[in-house]
Structure formats: C-alpha cells, structure tokens
Structure 1
Amino acid sequence: MAITAKMVKELREKTGAGMMDCKKALQETDGDMDKAIDFLREKGIAKAAKKSDRIAAEGLTHIEVENNTAVLLEVNCETDFVTKNDQFKDLLSELGKHIVKEQPSSVEEALGQKLHGEGETLETFINTAVSKIGEKITLRRFTIFTKSDDDVFGAYLHMGGRIGVLTVLEGTNDEQVGKDIAMHVAAVSPRYVSRDDVNEEEVNHEREVLKQQALNEGKPENIVEKMVEGRLGKFFQEICLLEQDFVKDPDQKVKKYVADKGATVKEFVRYEVGEGIEKREENFAEEVMNQMKK
C-alpha cells in the first residue's frame, strides 16, 4: 500500500512521533493506522529502556484534588527545558487524575494499573511520553490525603512546581487558611506537625548532643539540664510546624494562627523536586557537545 504524506501527518498528530518514524511504522503495518500507533508505542518503550541509565533529577510536582481526595506527586525528567513542555504538563495532569481516582498504594501498583481504569497501563502511558519528548521520565513518588466535608485541603506550588505542598486542616472550610499553612511549609520546611510527632529516640539523641555541647562549653552540671531543655525548645521550633514563627506574621506562632481560625493541622507533605537524587554535574556547553556526538 502506498504511504501518503497525509497519512504520515495524521500519525504524527496522533502520536507526536517523528516523521521518519511514522513513515516506517505505516510501511511496517501496511498503512493500518491503529497498528502503526501500536508499533510506535512499542518502539517508544524500547527507546525508554535505552534511557533508563540517565539521571532524571529535574521535573515538577503536581497537585490534583477531587472532592475529598487529593494527591501530591513528583514526576522527574532529565532537563529543566522539558518541564515547560505542554506534553509534560499534560502528563502530570493525567497521572494526578488517575491516582486520585484509583488511589494506588505505591508507585509500583500505580504503574501496573490501567490508565483511568481502561486501555494502556500507566507505565506504557509514561513510556509513550518518553518516545515523544525524548527524555527519561519517571513517576517518582506521590502522597494521597483524604478529608471530611468539614475539613479543608491547602495546596501550594512554588516556582511552578519545583516545590509542592499539600496540607489537611480540620475544623475549617477556609481554603486560604489551608494555603497559608502550605506556603509556610514550602518556605520553612518543617518535618513534623507538632513536638508530639517527634519520636522519643530522636529527642533523646538531640538532648544528649546538647548536653555534651553545654558541658564542653564549661557550663556547671547543675545548670546544664535547664540549658538543655531551653535549647530543645529551639530544636522543636526548627523542625515542628506549630512551634515555628508564621512566615506571613512572624510575631505569632503557626499554632496561634491556626487556633485563631478555629482549626487544627492534621497532616502535611512537602516535596522538593530532585531532593535526594544525585545530579550529574555537567555544564550546558558540555551537554550540547555530548548531544551533537550522538
């Protein structure tokens, strides 16, 4: 069967693949559009496998909310350029909608699920995006929160999604209060809601360190204990949300701001893109030269 330019154009529009790849796919499938799409998807998966050794430390976080369920997720790619790509942003949205609806318990479970309950799996969907965009793309992590009708989510994306925060506040329906707390978490990066959430082992370890610091400073043992408890207060202020000075009004603690709104902070999660991933040190000029050699 003769492969026309119109057929190639149609396949390109449906798949986002390159012209020569589309032409070859149509030739291999005798002009059958559906089989050609499958051919390119299979090829996309092969391309994705070749990119598996690359470091994907860039990317974006995304928040999807549907009624009383919300998810914060992180999707990684190789370069910051890709995060500005509409296809990448559409991918984030589709993954968010799926996870909110299906509520998988892990990334592995999510990748094996059918997208929106039908058709291709999430893993195939991502690999198809890899073949279109040309970079390694991975769903790294997600956290799902649920709430009651009397509670509120606070959602905040900083720098377009470089940092994402999702909070749950009980006792209020004021979304601005939820967002204010999410913005604070983005800025200050607490690890716990309150000092009650800090495990005893961590507190005892910090107490021992502070005690040795005080003794090394030559402080008398009879006042060391009081000094340690005072310094522990600063330790809790650094890591506990409710103990911190509220960024929008440093004259009051987060605890007071929330209480004045008749609310309590139930939980929060904060993602910063690429945290914990070892990034490849390469300057832009070297990256371009490496691309040209391929």
Structure 2
Amino acid sequence: MFRLAQRPSAAARSLLSSAYSTASPQKIPLALVAELRKQTAVSISKAREALTHSNGSIPGALEWLQQDLVATGTAKAAKVSSRATNQGLVGVSVLSHGAGLNTVGGVRAAMIELNCETDFVGRNDLFAKLAMDVVHTAAYISEATDKGPHFASLSLEQLQEAPLLLHNDPSAAPTGTVSTAIRDTIVKVGENITLRRASAIVEDAPLAPKADSARRLGSYVHGALHGLSCGRVASLALLNICSPYLAKFLRDESARTQLGLLERSIARQIVGFDTLSIKNRAENMSEEQVLYTQPFITLAGEFNGLPVEEALKKWSVSNGLVGEGGIEVLDFLKWSVGETEQS
C-alpha cells in the first residue's frame, strides 16, 4: 500500500518554495526549450518559465502555459483594447464550390477581415493561421437563408462565441472559441487584434437538382501570405450556369478546367478594378466600376479585352453552353483591409 508522506513543516515548505522560485532558467536544457517553442510559438523566456514551473516536463509546461494564458490573456486584451487596428488580413474559405462532376451543387464560403496594429504582425504566420481558422469556422457554422443565394453579414458576437475549427485539421476537437483564440494570440504577439467583419454565402444542394442550371463560386486573394487564402484584398463571386447541355459540360474534364480558370479570372477582375456593381445602376457609375462593362483583362485567350458581359456570352458558346443563359455573375463580395465599408 502507498502511504502519504508526512506533511513538511512550515519552515520546510517555505524553503522549498524559495528554492523553486529562485530556480535558474539556465538549468533548463535548450532542447526542451526548443521543443516547447516548436509546439507553442511562445518566447524563449516564457518557455523557460513554463518548464521551470513544471520541473522540465513538456506536458506540464503546456498545461502551465494554458493556465497562464487564461490568467493573463484577459488583462492583456483589456490593456491593449483601445489601440487602433488598421492593419491585418482578409481571409477566404470556400468549403463547396458548387456543381461539379460528382456533386449536384450547393455552395458554402465565407470571408472575414481580421485586424491588428502593425503590418509586421499582419504578415506574421501566427496571425495568418488565426485568420484562416476564423474564416473556416465562419464558413462551417453559417446557414442558408430563405432569401436565395447571396452574401450575408454574420453576427460577430455569435462567431466569436463559436468553437474554433482548425482550417488544416477540421476533424480536430475544438479547444476553445474564436474569442479565446483571438485573446491568446493577443498575448503571443503583444498587439490588439479585432474581428472587424464577416460575411458568408450558403446554398444547400437541391433535393431535386435542375438539369439545366447550377451555381458556382470563384475566389481570389491578392498577395496571399504563407500559401494561405488570406491577404490585403480578396473577392468571392457567385456564378450561375444555365444551359440544356450543362450535364454534358460538367462531365468534360477539359471544360471543368476552363470553368475553374474563368471563375478565378472573374474574381481577379473584381479585385483589379474599383468594382461596385455587376450591371449598371442609376447612380451614374463609370464603366470601370461596373463589372459587365469593364474590359476583361484577367481572362487569357481570344476573349481578352472584350467587355466582361460580352466575353461571358462568347465563352459560353465556345465551350458548348449554347442556349438561353450561359454563364452570368449573380453576386460578389470584395474587401480590402481598412477600407470604408460600402452600403
């Protein structure tokens, strides 16, 4: 049988406490410090402190760091909360592009703007991964509306309370919320971080898909960082394909490849111009602010330079989508970091 050791005297406990509190961080092997930093990205001094408190145990240090984040994170976030956040990233997540060879359709995507204080942090890998996790979560938790497919703003409060889903490991069990992930990152980078806006589009796959009509999504991120779908400017475009030959078109691998290039070209076009609408409105916009009247400069090949609307019609015919409709742009979303939001 195991017996509890006799409780040390008050003097002994004081001596032990003093010994632990004055333990030299230099006694912690550098290999342990490096391993802990590899797993957590904390500073060298914080890694040594955690390992000192856990007697050199990596699992114990991880637990101590988590408790330390909770204890100090809220205070740190409150301390920097008044600082302006004019830098950051726009993140894009597309979970379902729409109809394809082996899918009857349905689109699901989101866009968020995550802000920080400096461009240095905005380009940091830790910040970029946070942006991608947040936008992946936004795309996953969003629901279809009864107003038809369109980009709709998300409640920031609800999004921040949602369990954070990792974009590179969606099956992993959440360990915190979007809000706590932002708080923890504030502690790590030492800057204020704010979630400025979020929008999503969701249209579930129809129970009885139409044989001659389907939705598709195109996306583009300008200056994407770290191989992730986040940068200073980004766009999402909702397209509709309408043709009696749609099924044949989607079975053709070459046609699907060309469709993917077209979708990206449209999203790039939206970013490349001061695009405010798809078709002309009564506000007397210039031709370069109206997508359909812009010269299609991002589309390679024979239709390059034509007005976008004309190019889409000729592209549809050229790729076997003859008949009424062809490819049209139904809606789009374009955000730049720090811009004044448009109504």
TM-score relative to the length of structure 1: 0.71
Residue deviations 1:79-112 (CA, integer Å, cap 9, x gap):
1122332212211221122111112732211101
**1:123 Cα deviation from its structure 2 partner:** 0.7
Matched, 1:194 2:279: yes
Aligned counterpart, 1:72? 111
Could you list the per-position Cα deviations for residues 225-281 of structure 1 after superposition, in whole angstroms to 9, with x for gaps in the alignment?
xxxxxxx4xx3635432233333467522111222322010110000111139xxxx
Counterpart position of 1:38? 66
Matched, 1:254 2:313: no
Find the counterpart in structure 2 of residue 128 from structure 1.
184
Task: Classify 1:258/1:142 alpha carbon distance in 2 versus 1 (closer, same or farther; 3 Å).
Answer: farther
Structure 1: how far apart are the matches of 2:77 and 2:160? 15
Q: Match for residue 3 of structure 2?
A: none
1:237 to 265, 287, 296: 287
**Identity percentage over the alignment?**
27
Does residue 179 of structure 1 match 2:264?
yes
**Aligned equivalents of 1:56 and 1:178: distance in 2?**
32
Give the C-alpha shift of residue 40 in structure 1. Answer: 2.4
Distance 1:176 1:17 in 2: 41
Q: Decide which moves more: 103-112 or 12-21.
A: 12-21
* Counterparts in 2 of 1:10 and 1:246: CA distance versus 1, 3 Å: closer
**Residue deviations 1:93-141, cap 9 Å, x none?**
2112211111273221110111137331111111111111222222221
- Residues 42-61 of structure 1 correspond to what in structure 2 (within 5 A)? 42=70, 43-61=72-90
Structure 1 residues 29 and 271: alpha-carbon distance in aligned structure 2, compared to 1, 3 A threshold: same
Find the counterpart in structure 1 of residue 218 from structure 2: 154
For 2:203 and 2:267, how far apart are their aligned partners in 1? 16
Q: In proportion to residue count, which structure has more helix?
A: 1
Aligned to 2:175: 119
Shift of the 171–89 alpha-carbon distance from structure 1 to 2, 3 Å rule, reads same
1:272 to 336, 340, 343: 336
Determine if contact 1:21/1:40 at 8 Å carries over to the other structure.
Answer: no
Q: Equivalences for 1:135-150 in 2 at 5 Å?
A: 135-147=191-203, 150=214
| Amino acid in the other structure paired with 1:111 | Q
Equivalent pair of 1:65/1:71 in contact (CA under 8 Å)? yes
Is the 8 Å Cα contact of residues 142 and 202 (structure 2) preserved in structure 1?
no
CA distance in 2, matches of 1:151, 1:175: 13
On the 8 A contact 1:168/1:265 being kept in 2, the answer is yes
- Measure the CA separation in 2 of the matches of 1:168 and 1:148: 14
Unaligned runs of 5+ in 1: 207-231, 278-294
2:100 matched residue in structure 1? none
Structure 2 Cα separation of the partners of residues 177 and 135 of structure 1: 40
For 2:33 and 2:75, how far apart are their aligned partners in 1? 21
Q: Distance in 2 between matches of 1:177 and 1:251?
A: 14
Query: Which of 136, 140, 154 does residue 101 from structure 1 map onto?
Result: 140
